[in-house]
Protein backbone atom coordinates (compact mmCIF):
# COMPACT_ATOMS: atom_id res chain seq x y z
CA UNK A 1 0.00 0.00 0.00
CA UNK A 2 1.22 3.48 -0.79
CA UNK A 3 0.69 6.63 1.23
CA UNK A 4 0.16 10.32 0.57
CA UNK A 5 1.87 13.17 2.40
CA UNK A 6 0.34 16.62 2.69
CA UNK A 7 2.70 19.39 3.84
CA UNK A 8 1.19 22.79 4.50
CA UNK A 9 2.78 26.02 5.64
CA UNK A 10 2.59 29.81 5.59
CA UNK A 11 4.72 31.91 3.29
CA UNK A 12 5.48 35.54 4.09
CA UNK A 13 5.14 36.68 0.49
CA UNK A 14 4.18 34.33 -2.32
CA UNK A 15 6.82 35.05 -4.96
CA UNK A 16 8.46 33.53 -8.02
CA UNK A 17 11.65 32.57 -6.14
CA UNK A 18 9.79 30.45 -3.59
CA UNK A 19 7.60 28.92 -6.29
CA UNK A 20 10.64 27.94 -8.36
CA UNK A 21 12.42 26.53 -5.31
CA UNK A 22 9.46 24.35 -4.35
CA UNK A 23 9.04 23.22 -7.96
CA UNK A 24 12.71 22.19 -8.08
CA UNK A 25 12.32 20.32 -4.77
CA UNK A 26 9.27 18.47 -6.05
CA UNK A 27 10.88 17.57 -9.37
CA UNK A 28 13.85 16.13 -7.52
CA UNK A 29 11.64 14.09 -5.18
CA UNK A 30 9.61 12.74 -8.10
CA UNK A 31 12.78 11.66 -9.89
CA UNK A 32 14.49 10.18 -6.83
CA UNK A 33 11.51 8.52 -5.12
CA UNK A 34 9.09 7.73 -7.95
CA UNK A 35 6.26 9.76 -6.41
CA UNK A 36 3.90 12.28 -7.95
CA UNK A 37 3.72 15.81 -6.56
CA UNK A 38 1.43 18.83 -6.65
CA UNK A 39 1.70 22.33 -5.24
CA UNK A 40 -1.47 24.03 -4.08
CA UNK A 41 -2.41 27.23 -2.32
CA UNK A 42 -5.38 27.81 -0.11
CA UNK A 43 -8.31 29.30 -2.00
CA UNK A 44 -9.09 31.96 0.62
CA UNK A 45 -5.50 32.61 1.77
CA UNK A 46 -2.78 32.78 -0.90
CA UNK A 47 -0.09 32.72 1.82
CA UNK A 48 -0.98 29.13 2.80
CA UNK A 49 0.68 26.63 0.49
CA UNK A 50 0.45 22.84 0.40
CA UNK A 51 2.75 20.29 -1.16
CA UNK A 52 1.13 16.95 -1.94
CA UNK A 53 3.20 13.81 -2.50
CA UNK A 54 1.39 10.65 -3.61
CA UNK A 55 2.45 7.08 -4.24
CA UNK A 56 4.94 6.89 -1.36
CA UNK A 57 5.90 3.23 -0.92
CA UNK A 58 8.56 3.62 1.80
CA UNK A 59 7.60 6.36 4.27
CA UNK A 60 10.90 6.39 6.18
CA UNK A 61 13.03 6.57 3.03
CA UNK A 62 10.85 9.33 1.61
CA UNK A 63 11.02 11.40 4.81
CA UNK A 64 14.82 11.07 4.87
CA UNK A 65 15.10 12.09 1.22
CA UNK A 66 12.66 14.96 1.75
CA UNK A 67 14.58 16.30 4.77
CA UNK A 68 17.86 16.21 2.88
CA UNK A 69 16.36 17.90 -0.17
CA UNK A 70 14.60 20.57 1.93
CA UNK A 71 17.90 21.45 3.57
CA UNK A 72 19.79 21.59 0.29
CA UNK A 73 17.11 23.76 -1.36
CA UNK A 74 16.87 26.07 1.68
CA UNK A 75 13.14 25.57 2.13
CA UNK A 76 13.13 26.39 5.87
CA UNK A 77 14.46 29.89 5.18
CA UNK A 78 11.67 30.56 2.67
CA UNK A 79 8.59 29.38 4.56
CA UNK A 80 7.13 29.05 8.02
CA UNK A 81 6.93 25.77 9.95
CA UNK A 82 5.83 22.88 7.78
CA UNK A 83 2.97 20.72 9.06
CA UNK A 84 2.70 17.13 7.84
CA UNK A 85 -0.42 14.97 7.46
CA UNK A 86 -0.19 11.37 6.23
CA UNK A 87 -3.07 9.60 4.48
CA UNK A 88 -3.64 6.19 2.94
CA UNK A 89 -6.36 4.96 0.58
CA UNK A 90 -9.46 3.32 1.94
CA UNK A 91 -9.47 -0.20 0.62
CA UNK A 92 -12.45 -1.57 -1.27
CA UNK A 93 -13.61 -3.55 1.76
CA UNK A 94 -14.33 -0.37 3.71
CA UNK A 95 -12.74 1.93 6.28
CA UNK A 96 -11.13 -0.72 8.51
CA UNK A 97 -8.01 0.45 10.38
- Pick 3-87's CATH classification: 3.40.1050.10, 1.10.3720.10, 3.30.70.100, 3.40.50.300: 3.30.70.100
pLDDT in tens, 49-83: 999 999 999 999 999 999 999 999 998 877 889 99
Looking at residue 39, its pLDDT comes to 98
**pLDDT confidence bin for 13, thresholds 50/70/90:** confident
Looking at residue 88, its pLDDT comes to 92
pTM score, two decimals? 0.90
Give the span between the Cα atoms of 80 and 48, in whole angstroms: 10
Name the strands in the sheet holding 36-42, side by side, starting at the edge strand that comes first in the sequence: 36-42, 45-56, 3-10, 83-87
Looking at residue 51, its pLDDT comes to 98
**pLDDT confidence bin for 31, thresholds 50/70/90:** very high
Amino acid sequence: MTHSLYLYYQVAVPDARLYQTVQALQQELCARCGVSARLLRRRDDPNTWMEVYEGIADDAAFVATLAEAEQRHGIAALSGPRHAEWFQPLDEAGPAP
